[in-house]
Structure 1
Amino acid sequence: MFLLGLYGVGCPKRVVRVDDRAVSSQETRQQQQDLERAREEAARQEREKAEEAAREAARIKEEEGRRAAEAAREAERKKREFERSLVPKKELPGIEGKVLDSRLLKDVHFDFDRYDIREQDAQILKENAAILLKYPDVKIQIEGHCDERGTAEYNLALGERRANSVKKYLISLGVPAERLSTISYGKEMPLDPGHNEQAWAKNRRAHFTILMK
């Protein structure tokens, strides 16, 4: 307990006694109120965080659903595009089932008596590989062809080496080996029947055939 002296003009001196316990009680109530407000504020912030997290989760789920729907539509579009690119091909010896050509898959060509992949043809194979990777159900046969010069036996072997070079390159680009097969037609199926360098350059090629069971 402590004493307060109060003075006023023309007033006699008075002494007021204040109980320390009353002051302490007021401070305790204030502290409790402050603590309660702090708890309420913390709870409010937690609710806001939870609500924001729920909104973000819903947004992410909606975005994932939208992307999945777009991917499905794009896959269907690409499938239709690939199907439109297919054209029937005449029956080939040694192949059972339906065979098709695709306008999307481009031939690659070779120098005379060579089977290594040229730089400009490597780019074509990269584009072909990208197409094949988009359509994982498609299986292809790689045909090796030669020009008319040389013996039939030699050109059959050279055509096989050309087809295998292309196959190995496609595998290196990620196309599964089980989707690729090879065959050599040597000089028996020229693209251009001419007997000059221009025709020969066209005939030294690897061609892609779609195999359908």
Structure 2
Amino acid sequence: MTKPILTAALMALALAGCAKKPPKQLPPAPTSGSEIAPVTDTSGAATPGSQADFIAKVTSDRIFFDTDSSDVDANDQATLRSQAAWLAQYPRVRATIEGHADERGTREYNIALGDRRANSTKNVLAALGVDPGRMTVISYGKERPDATGSDEASWAKNRRAVTVTVQ
């Protein structure tokens, strides 16, 4: 009877010695579309048609929403007009519209809200002449906050849709 116990103990010790050790340095956190390293030409200017060029030439790569809303207001429509104009210059560039929500609410609710926000943004861009086939939507819900505070200012930054170009 002691032999099985001794064998089990030896196996446990052997397996414990094989455990993975944590890396000395963790990999960097994932980046959002606005943090992509700029693509530049030899003069240091953003390459036409790149994400860096998009960010440099449009009013903003993101629009913001009121709490529990996916309605695009007049200020955001102006931002989307500038995005649509840039996308018209580069008809081969595709775009991904990311929908985001603040930390309040359940994960499921915020995924659905982020999806509504991304689709509202896509619909406005389509109405402004951008081919819907060039755009995809994804919802991150509350999973990728832009601001980490738990206050109205942080929540307002997290209620957004971000347009990311895809080359």
Match of 2:92 among 123, 137, 141: 137
Equivalent of 1:85, from 41, 52, 56? 52
Corresponding position: 1:166 with 2:121: yes
Task: Please tell me whether Structure 1 or Structure 2 has the larger radius of gyration of its CA atoms.
Answer: 1
Bigger fraction of residues in helix: 1
* 1:84–1:145 Cα change, 3 Å: closer
Report how many aligned residue pairs link the two structures. Answer: 121
Shift in Å at residue 102 of structure 1?
3.8
Q: Find the aligned partners of 1:176 and 1:156 in 2 and give their Cα distance.
A: 25
Q: With structure 2 as the length reference, what TM-score do the two structures score?
A: 0.67
The one-letter code of the counterpart of 1:112 is T
User: What SS does the aligned partner of 2:50 have?
Assistant: helix
Percent of aligned positions that are identical: 45
Pairwise CA distance, 1:209: 1.5
Pick the aligned partner of 2:154 from 188, 195, 199: 199
Match of 2:63 in 1: 108
What is the alpha-carbon distance in structure 1 between the residues aligned to residue 86 and residue 125 of structure 2?
A: 11
Match of 1:154 among 88, 109, 112: 109
Runs of 4 or more, structure 1, over 3 Å off, are 79-84, 101-105
Q: Which runs of 5+ in 1 are unaligned?
A: 1-78, 87-100
Residue pair 2:50, 2:165 contacting (<8 A) in 1 also: no
Q: Which has the higher strand share?
A: 1
Q: TM-score, normalised by structure 1?
A: 0.53
Partner of 2:139: 184
Deviation at 1:81, TM superposition (A): 3.7
1:102–1:210 Cα contact (<8 Å) kept: no
Letter in 1 for 2:149: G
Residue-by-residue CA offset, 1:26-54 (whole Å, 9 max, x unaligned): xxxxxxxxxxxxxxxxxxxxxxxxxxxxx
How far 1:174 sits from its partner (Å)? 0.4
More contact order relative to length (CA 8 Å, sep ≥ 6): 2
CA contact (8 A) 2:117 2:161 kept: yes
Q: Which amino acid aligns with 2:133?
A: E
- Taking the aligned partners of 2:67 and 2:84, their CA distance within structure 1 comes to 25
Tell me the equivalent position of 2:73: 118
